[in-house]
Structure 1
C-alpha cells in the first residue's frame, strides 16, 4: 500500500476490517461514539479511501457497499516497517531497547517477547 491513511481514515478501515461489505450509513453507525461524525464526513472519508484504492465498492440498488482491498495484517506490517525504517534504521532491536529504557515494557510484555523468541528459535 503506497499511500498513507489518516487517523480518521484508519477509524473507517477498522470498521470495514471488522465487518464488510457495509453501506456508508452502516459504517457511520459503527464508528466509535466519541467521533460524532456527520454522514457527510463518513462519505468524504470513504471517498478518500476509494481514491487511494484501499477500499472498493459495489452498487446495491441505490446505495454502495464498501469493502477493504487491503488486509489489516498487511497494513499493520507495512506501517510497522515504515516506523522501524524511519526511527530505528529498519532494525527491531533498537525499538525494543528504546521501549525497555523508557520502562514501557511490562513484565507481561517481557514474558510475551521471551515466549516469542523461544518459539522462533525452535
Structure 2
C-alpha cells in the first residue's frame, strides 16, 4: 500500500495518539502543516479507502485509528527505497551516506555495534 507524504502526517498523529476523532486529528496537524479542515478530511478518507485507517462510529461521531502499524509502514517504505535506488541492497545506501559525509560519529558507532551484534 502506498501512503503519500501528506497521508503519513495523519498516520503519524494516529500512531502517536491512538484513536482520534477527525477534530482531534485536525488539531494535531492543521496548524503545523497549514492545512484546512477539508484537506485533512480528504486525507482521512483516502486512508480509510486504502484500509490504512480503521473507522468506528460512536453516535454521530467517527473515531479513527491506524489499521497499519508504523513498523509495517516503515518496513515497506524502507524496502521500497532500497529497491528503487540501491537494487535492494543496504550496503550501497550506507556507502552513499559515508561518501557524502552524512554519517555522524554516533551513527558510525551504532552501525559498528549493529554489525558486531549481527555477526554473533
The bucket for the TM-score relative to the shorter chain is over 0.9
Structure 2: distance between partners of 1:57 and 1:32: 20
Cross-structure match for 1:58:
56
- Whether the 8 Å CA contact 2:10–2:29 is kept in 1: the answer is yes
- Whether the 8 Å CA contact 2:30–2:37 is kept in 1: the answer is no
CA RMSD in angstroms, aligned pairs only: 1.1
Structure 1 residue 103, shift from structure 2 partner: 0.6
Which consecutive unaligned segments of at least 5 residues does structure 2 have? none
Alignment of 1:79-94 (within 5 A): 79-94=77-92
1:7-45 alpha-carbon deviations (Å, 9 max, x no partner): 110000000001121000000111163312222211111
Cross-structure match for 1:71:
69
Provide runs of 4+ in structure 1 moved above 4 Å. none
TM-score by length of 1: 0.93
| Aligned length in residues | 120
2:114 counterpart (110, 113, 116):
116
Cross-structure match for 1:29:
27
Structure 1: distance between partners of 2:18 and 2:60: 18
Cross-structure match for 2:15:
17
Residue 96 (str. 1) matches residue 100 (str. 2): no
In terms of mean alpha carbon deviation, does 17-26 or 33-42 score higher? 33-42
Which consecutive unaligned segments of at least 5 residues does structure 1 have? none
